[in-house]
Structure formats: structure tokens, C-alpha cells
Chain A
Amino acid sequence: MAVPPGKTGGMSAVLVIEDDDRIRLSLVLALEDEGYAASGAPTAEEGLAAQRRQPADTVLVDLMLPGVDGFECIRQLRRSDDVPIVVISARDDTHDIVAALEAGADDYLVKPLAVKELTARLRALRRRARVALADEPPVLRFGDLEISPEAGEVRLHGEAVAVTRTEFQLLCELGEHPGRVLSRQQLLQRVWGYDGGDERLVDVHVGRLRQKIEDGSGAPKHLVTVRGLGYKLQR
């Protein structure tokens, strides 16, 4: 690609891991047109190598890839990186979507998608990354759970917990309103920038967060489901 991956000036770098040459090429063209520094990789292996070499700000992943598939690719990316991952797939059954989100994806879009739609998603991901860094409230404490919005850190029993940016943003939104119930739609709006979206996004991310901040025995202590209403964070 003409523009190398990684942060190039003020441009946001996007890595497209997609095996269909035409889609990849046209997506890179369209994203470059929209002002992104886009690069492509035809396989998960090449994509992972490119991301190691020069990390992009956002990674787009197709689920059906030759060799290492999209789900595994997301898991491997997640292992070393909190980079926002957006799934772009022609598969849209619940099972695939939930599996991709559980593997660590932040959002998903179903083909065929309009480029405007994609750039709106990318902007929302960027925005919340900035919001999380710009906010400067003190440390939020929920018993043994500590959230430092400024430092972008989460600690459980004093030990740092690795969360992705989306998970962190979700935690901050809930943490800024202690004990108050936020509906899935409110969370979708505040964390993902969706005005009316798929509530499974929230549910799967809450599930992922619980694995990290709850002790895993019995009912969730901090991140509580309020039936029919939404979620809240408590001591």
C-alpha cells in the first residue's frame, strides 16, 4: 500500500484484514478517500504480522478467512492489544456475531455496508477513545474495584486488570453513575455512539467485563443486571 500502516500525521490508521481482493482493494480506496490511512492484509497471519510491525488505530476483520479464521485472528489480536476491532462479515447469524464479540471484537457490521456507515462507526470508536483519555474525575471506587478514568486503569484487589478500550469506556459510563441503572440503549448510545443498535453488543461486553472484574463465584457483585431495565455498577 502507498500509505504505510500506523499513525501518519493526523490521519487515523485502519488495517483491513479481508481475503476478497476486490473488497479489500475497494475498501482501502474508499477509506483513503474518507481521510484514513488504510492498509490491507489478505490473511489473518499477514494482518497479525502487520499489526505487530506497525499498530493501526482500528482493525477491520472479516470472519471467513483462509487458514486462521476471523475468530482466532480477533483472539490473537486481543492477546496483545486493546485496539478497537470491528468485524465486517457477510455472516449475520446470532451465533457468529456473539462468538466474534466474545472473542474480543468491539463492534460488528454486516456486509454489504455503506462506506459512510463504516466511517461513522470508526469515528465513534475514535471519539470514545478520546473521551476516556480526556475525562478527569478522581478514582472511582466500588469496594475492591477501582477505576481511574484519567489513567485508563482498572484495579481489582489493587491489581491491574487488562481491559479493552470499549470495556473500559463501558465501565466508566456505569462507574460515573454509581448505583444508577443504565439501559442497554443508553449504553449503546454513550459507549458505541449508536442511536438504536443491537443490544447484544452491550450484553456480550458486560459478559466479558464480568470475567475480568467479578470473582467468578456465584452472582455478579459489581456489575449487576437489572431485569427488564439494564445494568448498574455497585459496590
Chain B
Amino acid sequence: MKKAGLRVRVIAGFAAGALALSATLALVSFQVIRQSLLSERERTAVRAAYYDAAIVWSGLGSQEVGSLLRTLDTGDSRRAVLYRDGEWYSRQADTGVTDAIPVALQREAGDGIPSVQRVRAEGRAALVVAVPLSPTAVFYEVDSLQELDHTLGVLTAVLTAVAVSVAALGALLGWYASRYVLRPLTRVADAAQEIAGGAGKYRLDPAAEPDLARLTTSFNHMVDELQARLERDRRFAADVSHELRSPLQTLANAASVLERRRDQLDARTATAAGLITDEIARFQHLVNDLLELSRGDRPATRAPVDLPELARRVCRDHRISPDIVTLSGPATWCVDRGRVGQLMGNLLENAQAYGGGAVAVRLALTASTGRIEVDDEGPGVSPDDKPVIFDRFVRGRSANARADSAGTGLGLALVAQHAAAHGGTASVHDRPGGGARFRVELPECAP
């Protein structure tokens, strides 16, 4: 299960805390109020019952029990019952109220012990007060607690509402607090995103949030370090390649002299000279590719380019018939001419080295996305190679690949980099009918 976000947890925590607190308070106050109301009610009921019992006791013997009970002023809520010599007497005709009097209470009252008990009579809460008048007569009064029940019901509703509102308020407070507390973190996240997006200059202001100064300072420090390390790596590659340039220039010049005099050399020396010349050419290519890679994070400088014209020129440069270039959609694309030219050249070189030469170069501009495809009829790219083929220094592992001795192992890495500089992608697919299909997609190419 996905873990809930910090914010959700903070809000839930605040809400739960508020709910627990308010529920406890509500429960305690409910109990206290209920207890005090009940005992108050009990006292009243007992007092009234004793008063009535005194009237009944004084009238017993002189009056008929039914009319004696009827003289009592019991109101709506109280019902008086007299148990005398095994007979029940009540004011009203119905004696159902006697069922509500617990047997244990009757027994105790029969023993001459007065008592009070809460019961349920006819489904309603009631209070039974037993007052023994004589060894054979007990006066009972059943007092309805309906009113108190109602009051307690209202109280319960009010307290529940209060508890829920407090919980909601807690959640709101949690939301606000989390937002407030998380705001600096959001800024850090935004900054991280900016930096990941290439805005290396982005820094946080430690003064903006003194409590988080350590975080912002460490964050800035980390970004500085990262930036410096990236710069160091980039510069190292550039410096190394750069430093190689001067000796390479001398070698290239000297090789050119050797090359020119090749026919004056004996066969062995000529072969050696040829090897040197070829390897120097490859070395140059490698150094240039490395330098190009080390400059990779520069964005593409887009301008309108006649792409079929560029593609045909690149084909001619690679001694491939420009007729293999086909176009669908507009001819003018808004791309970095140098980068796209190099990208196509590298794809053609790759096809030459591993796929027996390119057989089709397809250009298509649809809905502002430009697509360049280079097909070959070689053995294709094995599934193992596909995920890594655009990495540096990865060469095809196919058994029958005729590795070009001039290859640097950086060509496809540069293709991917040039595509990325345009915000695009490079991928390799199987060509229907055999061979590999390299595809580069460049967004926002519409001029």
C-alpha cells in the first residue's frame, strides 16, 4: 500500500488528536452532568414518595385504598402503587406498572428496607421508590425519567456535535499547519526540480526561514558541490581532449607527409605508415566526439533548416546515394542544424559499420514532431543490446557485425545527446523485413 503523504498524515494526526480530546471532554462532562441530574432527580423522587407515603400511611384504615391513592397529587410523571396483604392497589385501573417493580426490590421492601432503583417500565426509563409502611404494606412510587432521558439525549447530541466540530477544526488546523510548515520544504522541492531541469544557478535564501537555515544552507551547499563536480567532470573530459589536440595536430601533419611519400617507402614501412595514418584519423574522430559529448548539456540552437537538403548532403558526405532520403510533411524544420547533421551522419556511419549501409532515410514532420528514421538491412540489434546501444562505448555484440575500425563507440551516444538537446528521444527498432531501424524524434520542429 502506498504510504499516505506527510501532509495527509499531519492533517489526520491533528484531526485524531482533536477528536480524542473533545470526545474525552464530552464523555466526562456527560457523565458528570448525568450523574448530578440523576441524583437530583432521585432526591426529588424520594422526597415526593415519602411525602405521598406519609399521606397514605395516615389514611390507611380510615379510607378505602383506591380513593386514598387518588387523593395523592402525583402529576403526570409519578404513579403510586400500594402493596398490601398480598394485593396491589393503584389509582388507575391498569396495574401493568407493577410489572416494572423488580422482584428483588419487592423482597427487600417486604423486609422493611426502603430503597430506590432505576428500571425500565414499558420501555421507558423510570425510578422506583419503595417505602415500607408496615410489615404488610409497601408504598411504591414509579417515577418516569422520560424528561431526564430527553434532556440527556439533547446533551448527547450537542456534545457529539461539539466533538465532531472540534475534530474538523483540528483537521483544518492540521491542514493549515502542514501547509505552513511544508511551505519551505515545497520551496526546496521546487528548487530541486529547477536544478534537475538545468537551472544550475538556483539557490535558496537561508534568511527566508531561519528555523530551516540548516536545511537551506546544506541544500545550497549540496547544489554547489554537485555543480562543481559536474563542472569538474565536464571540464576534465574537455581538458583531456583539449590537451590531446595539439599533439594530435602534429601527428596529423606528420602523417600527411608520410602518406604523401608512401610510394617511396618499402612495403613494410608503407603498411606501418598506413596504420599510423588510419589510427590518427580515428584518434581525431574520438577526440572530437569526446569534446562534443563533454559539451552535451548545451541546449540546441534552433533555426529553420531545409532538412531534406541537409539529409542529402550528409548522405553525399558519407558516399551514400541521396536518393534514399524520403520526406513526408513540410521540408523546413526548426532544429539545430549542426547537431541534426551530426546525428544523421552518425546514424549513417552506424548503419555502415554494423548494418551493411543505410537503405532508407525517412524524414517526417507531423504535428510539430519531427521524426528521422535510418534503416539498414543488417542483422538488426539483439534484444540484449537495445537498452544499452545508446550508451557510451557500447559496440554491437552481434557475431557477424563488421566493426568499423574508424568507429569511436561514441556515435550513438552523441545521437541520443543531440536528440535530448532538442527535448527528443532516440530509439532502435526492428525493421520490418529484417535489419535495424534507428528512430529519432524531435518535438517542436514546426517552423
Contacts and interface: CB of A to CB of B under 8 A. Distances in A.
B250 A22 contact: yes
B281 interface: yes
Given A196-B313, A196-B341, A228-B447, A30 B303 contact: no
Interface string B226-257: 00000000000000001001111111111011
Contacts, number: 74
Interface string A112-150: 111110000000000000000000000000000000000
Interface of A is mostly: loop
A26 B251 CA distance: 8
A22 B245 CA distance: 12
Given A30-B256, A112-B284, A195-B313, A228 B304 contact: yes
A183 B303 CA distance: 12
Contacts of A199: 303, 337
A198 interface: yes
B313 A29 contact: no
Contact of A114 (B252, B260, B338): B252
A113 B257 contact: no
B291 interface: yes
Given A92-B291, A114-B281, A228-B303, A26 B253 contact: yes
A112 B341 contact: no
20 contacts: A20-B249, A20-B250, A22-B247, A30-B253, A33-B256, A33-B257, A33-B261, A34-B256, A90-B242, A90-B246, A111-B248, A111-B249, A112-B245, A113-B252, A114-B256, A114-B281, A115-B252, A185-B309, A196-B310, A199-B337
A193 to B, nearest CB: 14
A23 B245 CA distance: 10
A229 interface: yes
A114 B254 CA distance: 10
B257 A23 contact: no
A131 B316 CA distance: 26
A161 interface: no
Interface in A26-50: 26-27, 29-30, 33-34
B287 interface: yes
A22 B252 CA distance: 11
Contacts of B317: 195-196
B256 A116 contact: yes
B313 A20 contact: no
Contacts of B248: 111-112
Contacts of B254: 26, 29-30
A194 B251 CA distance: 25
Contacts of A33: 256-257, 260-261
Given A92-B291, A112-B249, A113-B249, 11 more contacts: A20-B250, A26-B253, A30-B253, A30-B257, A33-B260, A90-B245, A90-B249, A112-B284, A115-B252, A196-B314, A228-B303
Contacts of B313: 195-196
In the complex, the 5 A-B pairs of residues with the closest C-beta atoms, listed nearest first:
A26-B253, A115-B256, A112-B248, A90-B245, A30-B253
Interface in B283-340: 284, 287, 291, 303-304, 306, 309-310, 313-314, 316-317, 337-338
A38 B174 CA distance: 82
Contacts of A183: 306
A16 to B, nearest CB: 10
A113 B287 CA distance: 11
Nearest to A26: B253
Interface in B255-293: 256-257, 260-261, 281, 284, 287, 291
Contacts of B337: 199
Contacts of A229: 304
A40 to B, nearest CB: 12
Point out which of A29, A114, A183, A228 has the most chain B C-beta atoms below 10 A from its C-beta.
A114
A228 B261 CA distance: 48
Nearest to A33: B260
